[in-house]
Structure 1
Amino acid sequence: MDAAQLNETDDVAIPPLTVGTAIRAVSPQFLALSVMLSIHGVGLAVWSGSFDAGLAVLSIIGLMCLHIAINVFNDWHDWCRTVIDHYTEHTAFSGGSGMLPRGEITPRAALGISCTGLAIGVSIGLYMTWRCGWPVFVIGVAGVTAVIFYTPVFAKLGIGEIVAGLGLGTLPVVGIFYVLVGTITPAAWWSAAASGFLTYNLLLVNEFPDAYADALGGRRHMVILLGRPRAARLFAVMEISAFVVIIAGVIAGVLPPWALLGLIGLPFAIKSIVFTFRHNADPDEMPPAQANHVLSTLSLNTFLGVGYIIAAFLG
């Protein structure tokens, strides 16, 4: 049975779109990642001796709008173009908002929210390009490409995690740094690599409970391609790599010692690895692994940013 047949009852009465419904549709709890990535990038810029409050705020808004676009578009695509949402086991951390399957929002409204977020994000990106230079355009094109093609293309080619790691991990930090500083330094790439590893894993850990539905919908991600045990080992390698990068950067003198504040997220990372090894075959037992990985990701990005700001004032 295809998605069109499964969605034959989609024309039942659905309440009109309200502000509250729209807010829930964008999965606001997931937007914390965009905020923490922004703190990371802004902190790097402050440490490098440059800060513009207006550009920083615009960067945060633009990143959040693109994040909204990809969240809601993913929900729309999984419900309207595949069978994924008909079989997904929703958790607090994966499976999307669940509003389309529950009939709380129409597909048209969901697509409209996604397109609005994309339009605002692109508009801000074009302004930043005019204000700050062509590298912003290159980074922006990469981000928009990730938004538009992640679900229908990249997730089916086995590179969805890499695209997410770059598009919603490494590049946002580097992009915000460039907007505020006007150049991209080795320190920016080095620090942003840690964000990339953890955002990669943000996708990977959420794929364990979604694997059955994703396979039915034609996705080819690491859990499906490698199998659960090997995917769990990959998760562990990527998780630890994020923290090794920070330690190595400090030892090499590329990053300031205060960057080690990012290691505050390490205990959460270890817990996430342990839970993933123990429960990767049981979707109902995966939320602790997902929760600890979220805490690991948010902590690393937040405290890296804080560490860089402290380093700017204390050396």
Structure 2
Amino acid sequence: MSRPTPRPHPAEPHPGRFAGAFARYFAATRPAFLSVTLVACLIGLASAWRSGAGIDAATAVITVLFALVAHAGVNVVNDYHDALSGADAANTERLHPFTGGSRFIQNGVLTAAQAGRFGHALLAAVIPAGLWLAWQAGPGLLLIGAGGLFAGWAYSAPPLKLMSRGLGELAIAAGWLLVVVGSDYVQRGSFAALPAIAGLSYALLVANLLFINQFPDHAGDAAAGKNTLVVKLGPQVAKWGYLLIAIVAYGWLVGMSGNGTLPQKTAAAAMTLVLSFSAGRELLEHAAAPTELGPAIKRTILAANLHGLILAGALAFS
């Protein structure tokens, strides 16, 4: 017997909510969640500034703009593949707008075909901008850009479907670390260790956001054969992974600032561990009751964004 289609929540998108095509397609990119990419770009720019590279306003703006376009494309492509697999349709425990996808396809705002074309068009639009930036900064940016697009595509698209192999967190951490490294490279014109060292704790906290979102999505993912880490391990075992990722992230930052690899003031970004650990405590308590995880997810989003902003400020001005 087939599973019933979950009824739309009143806050979810519906066809009558949008005044026109532009508003509909723009909202489908989930713009409220693009802040993690903006912050990653700021960390990269701050890293270049600290190293003495002058910031070129034009290339900096284009870098940020098309990093956001790439993230938007990944969001829409992920919704498309989750619609094809049935994972979002089977998700009855979603916490909109944080988990369960954008619901644009499931609620009839866009067809799966429209979402697929739009998402891939956004990713394709990044390529000419990336080529122009590589011409300005250096050919190494081609490797960074190709790696970032690959991570975003492979996260949800077959045949790799890294999220369905328990490798989604690795792809997310790698993708957002590449945003930091790429933003630095455009200004510096060469590879350097600093942006990778500085950006790792932030990239791990972004991966933790994906991780905690998998708990409300657990039942729908399992029904669709989407074997995320939470599906593979089960919520009661997987819940400890959140604290493990957070400990590695904050331990890395404190260690690198303590030994002088990063400026001492970057350790101030570790203050956000209060948010991460309180969210982790709630996850330990409510892993089997994911409808209770809304506050923990919000704190995880705040922890990642605030951590990155403090880190960028300390790099730029210390």
State the TM-score, normalizing by the size of structure 1: 0.90
User: Could you tell me how far apart the structure 2 residues matched to 1:293 and 1:163 are?
Assistant: 18
CA contact (8 A) 1:186 1:254 kept: no
Instruction: State the Cα deviation string for residues 178-237 of structure 1 (Å, max 9, x = none).
Output: 111123333222111112211221211111111111112221211111221221111101
Describe the SS at the equivalent of 2:261: coil
CA contact (8 A) 1:258 1:310 kept: no
More helix by share: 1
User: Could you tell me how far apart the structure 1 residues matched to 2:298 and 2:209 are?
Assistant: 10
Q: Tell me which residue corresponds to 1:158.
A: 166
Q: Which runs of 5+ in 2 are unaligned?
A: 6-13
Q: Which runs of 5+ in 1 are unaligned?
A: 7-12
CA RMSD of aligned residues (A): 2.1
How far apart are 1:90 and its partner, in Å?
Answer: 2.6
| Partner AA of 1:300 in structure 2 | H
Q: Tell me which residue corresponds to 1:99.
A: 104
User: Could you tell me how far apart the structure 1 residues matched to 2:271 and 2:60 are?
Assistant: 25
Instruction: State the Cα deviation string for residues 140-173 of structure 1 (Å, max 9, x = none).
Output: 1111112222113212222111011111x21111
How far apart are 1:255 and its partner, in Å?
Answer: 0.6
CA contact (8 A) 1:262 1:304 kept: yes
Q: How many residues align?
A: 302
Q: Tell me which residue corresponds to 1:119.
A: 124
User: Could you tell me how far apart the structure 2 residues matched to 1:252 and 1:68 are?
Assistant: 37
User: Could you tell me how far apart the structure 1 residues matched to 2:15 and 2:34 are?
Assistant: 26
CA contact (8 A) 2:215 2:230 kept: yes
Name the stretch that deviates more: 287-296 or 183-192.
183-192
User: Could you tell me how far apart the structure 1 residues matched to 2:219 and 2:62 are?
Assistant: 39
How far apart are 1:2 and its partner, in Å?
Answer: 8.7
Where do 1:10-21 residues align within 5 Å?
Answer: 18-21=21-24
Q: Tell me which residue corresponds to 2:67.
A: 63
Instruction: Give structure 1 regions of 4+ aligned residues with deviation exceeding 4 angstroms.
Output: 13-17
User: Could you tell me how far apart the structure 1 residues matched to 2:172 and 2:2 are?
Assistant: 27
| Partner AA of 1:291 in structure 2 | K
CA contact (8 A) 1:42 1:177 kept: yes
- Choose the corresponding residue for 1:235, options 214, 230, 242: 242
User: Could you tell me how far apart the structure 2 residues matched to 1:100 and 1:242 are?
Assistant: 35
- Choose the corresponding residue for 1:205, options 209, 212, 215: 212
Give the direction of change, closer, same or farther, for the CA distance of 1:82–1:93 in structure 2 (3 Å limit): same
- Choose the corresponding residue for 2:79, options 67, 75, 78: 75
Q: Tell me which residue corresponds to 2:221.
A: 214
- Choose the corresponding residue for 1:46, options 45, 49, 66: 49
Q: Tell me which residue corresponds to 2:32.
A: 29
Q: Tell me which residue corresponds to 2:9.
A: none
User: Could you tell me how far apart the structure 2 residues matched to 1:269 and 1:56 are?
Assistant: 30
How far apart are 1:104 and its partner, in Å?
Answer: 1.5
CA contact (8 A) 1:197 1:239 kept: yes
Give the direction of change, closer, same or farther, for the CA distance of 1:188–1:280 in structure 2 (3 Å limit): same
State the TM-score, normalizing by the size of structure 2: 0.89
| Partner AA of 1:103 in structure 2 | G
